[in-house]
């Protein structure tokens, strides 16, 4: 008898019919003889509606109150799912995050799980129950309710799987798995039967929105295999794991993109110690997230410093940077809001020089100009004109033969 | 500095504007320098909507799951109210029933409060917070969420007032207070400035639906004065208390009625020990609530036994009673579903014979036939034709001079 943790997202439980459908899927898993723990998100757009309600009574709702408010959405979904399972004749019980022992820090709206006390879940499993846990939420040492922020329910599922020693964590969503590229953008994209944690992290961070990076990190840390599959079909999905086979494979696994990219370049910066800090510390204080940072080679002790931010933060970032640029004696400060990012991802790329050359060549052939380049061990990213992102994804997908099924 | 507990019902917080209005009222109380604890019900018809959702996934939702589901309604209302107070510049914090230390037994859907651990509420008050508590809910020793059933939020408010040693418990609702009769039925009804606990209990149980009897009982037990007033006006309301002045007063305080009355009479019952038990034990097992029971004087060891049930339970009750009637040798078993109940209530009535005579005389003058009569120390109730109930209320109101303001 194995123990599996399943997670169903908000679109999978958007109404009573969908909840009953999910209940039938869970029942099938139970029928196989496994112990089943299910993590569930709030129904459909419940969270947005609750935030809207909060906005009607307060311009700036406190994070603590908002977290307690939002936590109700997942509780509604998990009680209904438990009822639907009982109506099918299965023993089931719903637990809030607090009841399931999800202990977090007190950073409201983006709390981190500190530990899981799984005693209650284990005792309910031992009674023969399917245990339905409200995702996205936890409780502090002071008994206050927190939410985990974006990707919270995915994180709840993997954390529970880790603390229960589950055989697998299955994340059911409204897509068929992880693809070689965004299928909405590139219809030739192929589902990946399996992918490594690190590769998935780069894919998720750089544009793919299937499983939240926090959950993947946690899966890697505790070596929990994560299956991502559709809650509406019976297709096999994608298994995210740390199997050894991936270490020796040198292959691009996917193409990711991001259209929310704006670039600021501080031109003609005197190249002396402390210059970068003098620019980025004030930006951090203004709560502006910096993505890529590139500093060109210095010529005559003068350099250019470029970095990217989300488009919505460009104006605010420029307000912060302009006076600093003047004060440090930079020549000028320019920005470009119409950029995008395209990345190729795959383990072992860095040790195989051909990948970068092929990527740049492919873009060059299509007449796509590369504005910035950054790399990690398993990723090469180019910042390009946003109007050419779709074209670049198609070209790279073809160049690296991703349309060929594995 | 006094401590007061206020309670606002669902109609008082039905939407964002009403929540902001309630926040302003609470702010006024805080401005007087008092410490304020507020108990709040779910917004408008939230509870009904959640029950409807449950009905869509299960024909028979389990009480435990339903309680956890319904508990979210009050949490939504109390977080929004806390946000609205903070938006007005007041320090406020919302607490679920569990966080507020409302400990109950594990009888889901109608749990009883076993104790209140007020430490968290006290510590938040000491920090200068207005404390908003989700009504209607509590937590068991096993950390499961319960609801308190009908009148639950009123009960939460009085229990908190008792455990905190509050100076008063103020229940704000959509009516102006307790009336000499239902103002919807009798426009001549007068608001009572004050009323005793016992009188209020009889009024509440026998038709007036202003404060739940459980809350009044608890108020009496801990001697907490309960003010009932409108959340929409600044009128003074009705103070329910145990003041000595009421003990010496011999006056009818109000007329109550109930239209949900059906009568079953088992005719020609052999009058021997155990007969009553043989009828009422099976009814109790079938979960049918019996209200009034009247057994006539026995003639030749044959008697008639009448009792009343809610109209919705009449058919089921007849199914249970008919075979029993046959088996004990009763002549027949008849029912009447078109009945109503009218009561006069007032302390000291039993020691003043004139009241009963005046009640029966008044009904007789109007040609209203009395089918059953029952009395308590402070109440006389007549079961009559449902079509004559309104007429009876008016006549009794006039006969006992209730239209004259005190």
The CATH number that applies at residue B327 is 3.30.2130.10
The label of the residue with tokens 């003010």 reads: B227
How far apart are the C-alpha atoms of B194 and B237, rounded to whole Å?
A: 8
Q: Using beta carbons and an 8 Å cutoff, which residues of B are at the interface with A?
A: 16, 19-20, 23, 50, 53-54, 56-62, 64-66, 68-69, 71-72, 75-76, 79-84, 86-87, 93-94, 96, 98-99, 120, 143-145
Task: Convert the pLDDT of each residue in A216-240 to its tens digit.
Answer: 989 999 999 999 999 888 889 999 9
Same domain, B269 and B129: no
Show which residues on chain A lie within 8 Å of chain B, measured between beta carbons. 16, 19-20, 23, 50, 53-54, 56-62, 64-66, 68-69, 71-72, 75-76, 79-84, 86-87, 93-94, 96, 98-99, 120, 143-145
A322 falls within a domain: yes
What is the pLDDT confidence band of residue A209, given thresholds at 50, 70 and 90? confident
Q: What pLDDT is attached to residue B246? A: 46
**Do A157 and A268 belong to one domain?**
no
Q: How far is CA A331 from CA A124, A307, A321, B396, in A?
A: 67, 16, 13, 94
- Look at residue A184 and tell me if it is in a domain: no
Residue A379's pLDDT is what? 85
A286/A387 same-domain check: yes
Q: Tell me, yes or no, whether A250 lies in a domain.
A: no
Nearest C-alpha of chain A: how many angstroms from B14? 12
Task: State residue B352's pLDDT score.
Answer: 67
Indicate if the pLDDT at residue A246 is higher than 70: no
Give the mean model confidence (pLDDT) for residues A139-158.
Answer: 94
Of A68, A75, A86, the CB nearest to B62: A86
Question: In order along chain B (406 residues), what is the average pLDDT of each group of 10 residues?
Answer: 93 95 96 96 94 95 96 97 98 98 94 95 97 97 93 94 95 90 86 89 75 89 93 90 60 88 90 80 85 78 87 92 91 92 82 79 90 82 93 93 73
The total number of structural domains in chain B stands at: 2
Give the span between the Cα atoms of B209 and B187, in whole angstroms.
17
A121 SS3 class: helix
Distance, CA of B143 to CA of B166 (rounded, Å): 27
Q: Note the pLDDT of residue A153.
A: 95
Q: DSSP assignment of A376-402, as one string? A: ETTEEEEEEEGGGHHHHHHHHHHHTTT
- Tokens describing residue B76: 């939504």
Q: Given B174, B201, B222, which residue is the final one in a domain?
A: B174
Give the residue-averaged pLDDT of A178-206: 86
pLDDT tens track for A74-96: 999 999 999 999 999 999 999 99
Cα separation, B144 vs B141, whole angstroms: 7
In a domain? residue B214: no
pLDDT attached to residue A247? 45
Pairwise CA distance, residues A139 & A127, whole Å:
25
Burial class (CB in 10 A: 0-12, 13-18, 19+), A366: middle
Task: Note whether B11 and B115 are same-domain residues.
Answer: yes
What is the ipTM for the molecules in this complex?
0.80
Instruction: Report pLDDT for A248.
Output: 47
Do A170 and A272 lie in one domain? The reply is: no
Residue B150 lies in a domain: yes
Residues of A in contact with B47 (CB under 8 A): none
Tokens for B50?
């959640």
Confidence (pLDDT) at B24: 96
Residue B209: inside a domain: no
The CA distances from residue A309 to A214, A248, A346, in Å, are 21, 35, 25
Ordered alpha helix ranges (H), A264-388: 275-285, 314-327, 354-365
Q: Do B69 and A76 touch (CB under 8 A)?
A: yes
B132 and B281: one domain?
A: no
Residue A294 predicted with pLDDT over 90 = no
Between CA B231 and CA B18 the distance in angstroms is 10
Residue B303 has a pLDDT of 83
- The whole-chain average pLDDT of chain A stands at 90
| CA B327/CA A372 separation, integer angstroms | 95
Residue A210 has pLDDT above 50, yes or no: yes
Residue B337 lies in a domain: yes
Contacts for B20-26: CB closer than 8 Å, 24+ residues apart: B20/A57, B20/B84, B20/B87, B21/B231, B21/B232, B22/B81, B22/B84, B22/B172, B22/B231, B23/A57, B23/B81, B23/B84, B23/B85, B23/B87, B23/B88, B23/B90, B24/B88, B25/B172, B25/B231, B26/B81, B26/B85, B26/B90, B26/B130
**Are A153 and A300 members of one domain?**
no
- The answer to whether residue A213 sits within a structural domain is no
| Closest CA–CA distance from residue A282 to any residue of chain B (Å) | 30
| Contact at CB, A143 and B99, closer than 8 angstroms | yes
Supply the pLDDT for residue B288. 84
Give the DSSP H or E segment for B114: strand B113-116
Residue whose C-alpha is closest to residue B291's, from B337, B269, B260, B266: B260
Mutate to test the interface with A, among B79, B82, B144 (most CBs of A within 10 A): B79
**Chain B residues inside the 8 Å CB shell of A58:** 83-84, 86-87
From the list A50, A62, A86, the residue facing B58 with the nearest CB is: A86
Contact A16 B84 (CB under 8 A): no
Question: Do residues A264 and A392 share a domain?
Answer: yes
Chain B nearest C-alpha distance from A94 (Å): 7
Query: A141 and A40 in one domain?
Result: yes
The tens digit of pLDDT for each residue in A6-64 reads 999 999 999 999 999 999 999 999 999 999 999 999 999 999 999 999 999 999 999 99
Last residue of a domain, one of B121, B146, B174: B174
pLDDT of residue B250: 57
**Is there a single domain that holds both residue B303 and residue B168?**
no
Residues B13 and B142 in one domain: yes
Claim to verify: residue A130 and residue A271 sit in the same structural domain: no
B61–A83: do the CB atoms touch at under 8 Å? yes
How many CB contacts within 8 angstroms connect chain A with chain B? 110
Last residue of a domain, one of B106, B141, B174: B174
- Specify the DSSP class assigned to residue B129: P
First-to-final CA distance of chain A: 32
Closest CA relative to residue B203, chosen from B179, B220, B169: B179
Stated pTM of the model = 0.81
Diameter of chain B by CA atoms?
78
Residue range(s) defining the domain that contains residue B369: 255-399
CATH classification of the domain holding A66? 3.40.1160.10
């Amino acid at each position: 008898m194995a123990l599996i943790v399943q997670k169903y997202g908000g679109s999978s439980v958007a109404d009573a019919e969908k909840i009953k459908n999910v209940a039938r899927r869970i029942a099938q898993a139970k029928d196989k003889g496994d112990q089943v723990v299910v993590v569930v998100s709030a129904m459909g757009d419940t969270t947005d509606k609750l935030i809207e309600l909060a906005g009607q009574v307060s311009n700036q709702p406190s994070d603590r109150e908002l977290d307690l408010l939002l936590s109700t959405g997942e509780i509604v979904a998990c009680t209904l799912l438990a009822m639907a399972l009982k109506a099918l004749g299965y023993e089931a019980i719903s637990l809030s995050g607090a009841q399931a022992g999800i202990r977090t820090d007190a950073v409201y709206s983006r709390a981190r799980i500190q530990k899981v006390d799984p005693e209650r879940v284990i005792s309910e499993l031992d009674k023969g129950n399917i245990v339905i846990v409200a995702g996205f939420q936890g409780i502090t040492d002071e008994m206050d309710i927190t939410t985990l922020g974006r990707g919270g329910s995915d994180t709840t599922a993997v954390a529970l799987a880790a603390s229960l020693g589950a055989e697998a964590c299955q994340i059911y969503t409204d897509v068929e798995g992880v693809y070689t590229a965004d299928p909405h953008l590139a219809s030739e994209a192929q589902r990946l039967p399996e992918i490594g944690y690190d590769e998935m992290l780069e894919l998720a961070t750089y544009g793919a929105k299937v499983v939240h990076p926090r959950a993947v990190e946690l899966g890697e840390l505790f070596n929990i295999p994560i299956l991502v599959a559709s809650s509406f079909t019976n297709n096999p999905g994608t298994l995210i794991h740390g199997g050894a086979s991936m270490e020796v494979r040198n292959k691009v696994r996917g193409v990711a993109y991001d259209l929310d990219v704006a670039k600021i370049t501080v031109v003609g910066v005197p190249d002396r110690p402390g210059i970068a800090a003098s620019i980025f510390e004030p930006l951090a204080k203004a709560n502006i997230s910096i993505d890529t940072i590139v500093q060109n080679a210095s010529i005559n002790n003068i350099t250019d410093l470029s970095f990217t931010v989300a488009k919505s933060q460009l104006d605010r970032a420029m307000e912060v940077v302009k006076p600093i640029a003047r004060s440090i004696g930079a020549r000028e400060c320019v920005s470009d809001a119409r950029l995008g990012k395209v990345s190729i991802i795959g383990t072992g790329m860095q040790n195989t020089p051909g990948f970068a050359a092929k990527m740049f060549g492919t873009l060059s052939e299509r007449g796509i100009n590369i504005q910035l380049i950054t790399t990690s061990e398993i990723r090469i990213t180019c910042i390009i004109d946003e109007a050419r992102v779709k074209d670049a994804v198609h070209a790279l997908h073809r160049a690296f033969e991703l349309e060929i099924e594995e």
